[in-house]
Amino acid sequence: MLTYLSERGDVDMNNVGIFGVGAGATIAVAPASADSRIKAIDLVDPWGNWPVWMAKSNVIPEEERSRYIKPEFLSGVSPFDPVSLLPRLTTPRVRLNQFAENSSTPPDASSKIEAALPPGAERRRLIDGAQFDPMVAAGGHNFDWLKLQLKFQDSKQPVGKTTSGGTSGDSQPGSRKK
């Protein structure tokens, strides 16, 4: 898709970012791991850590779960697991937003996804959807963080830090994970 857009000539290919939620966040990690034109990704509750996610996620209907936890299925999807792809990212700006409650990703899978983040990635643990983005609550849009990151992509630090959303024991929103 990026090659097609670059051939059109009407898209600024120096400012490519991806916003994804759930499965879309999972999918966003794959092209970011393979294409250096992607400068920022904003992930909201990505699915991943396939053996745990397939066994425990409430997204998988119980009557179908047995086929998704078979070793042959898991080996086929393992190359696309964010837990494998995230550590290899060279994408300059990465933000992971994880909901503490009502997430489709089981807590043990969320922990593995967080642990797989590349150095310098921003991580936020949110209590609920209303806490997702103060910019949205103030009349902004979900893409404001991405726009800020792309606008100031030559800066070494993430920009547009937020001031709410962290829970006890977690890094605060906007903080860089070491």
CATH number at 144 reads: 3.40.50.1820
- What is the model's pLDDT at position 113? 96
Confidence tier at 94 by pLDDT (50, 70, 90): very high
Contact by Cβ (8 Å): 86, 117 = yes
Position 1 in a domain: no
- What is the model's pLDDT at position 153? 65
Which amino acid, one-letter code, is at 38?
I
Distance CA 106, CA 46 (A): 11
Give the range among 56-70, 85-99, 136-150 with minimum mean pLDDT.
Answer: 136-150
Contacts within 8 Å (CB) and 24+ apart, 108-111: 108/49, 108/52, 108/56, 109/47, 109/48, 109/49, 109/52, 109/53, 109/56, 109/57, 110/45
Buried b (16+ CB within 10 A) or exposed e, 41-51: bbbbbbbbbbb
Q: What is the count of structural domains for the chain?
A: 1
Position 163 in a domain: no
Position 98 in a domain: yes
Position 59 in a domain: no
- What is the model's pLDDT at position 109? 95
Task: Give residue-wise pLDDT tens across range 30-54.
Answer: 999 999 999 999 999 999 999 999 9
In degrees and rounded to multiples of 5, residue 170 shows phi and psi of: -105, 160
pTM equals 0.78
Task: Give residue-wise pLDDT tens across range 97-144.
Answer: 998 876 789 999 999 999 999 999 999 888 766 656 555 555 556 677
Host domain of residue 90? 14-50+78-151
Position 166 in a domain: no
Give the range among 63-67, 107-111, 171-175 with minimum mean pLDDT.
Answer: 171-175
- What is the model's pLDDT at position 125? 86
Position 117 in a domain: yes
Residue 170 exposed, middle or buried by CB count within 10 Å (0-12, 13-18, 19+): middle
- What is the model's pLDDT at position 172? 36
Position 146 in a domain: yes
Contact by Cβ (8 Å): 109, 49 = yes
Query: Considering all CA atoms of the chain, what is the largest pairwise distance in Å, rounded to the nearest integer?
Result: 49
Mean pLDDT of 77-82: 96
Task: Output 15 or 165, whichever has higher pLDDT.
Answer: 15
Q: Identify the DSSP state of 78.
A: G
CA dihedral 166, 124, 99, 24 (to 10 degrees): 160
Q: Is the pLDDT of residue 166 over 60?
A: no
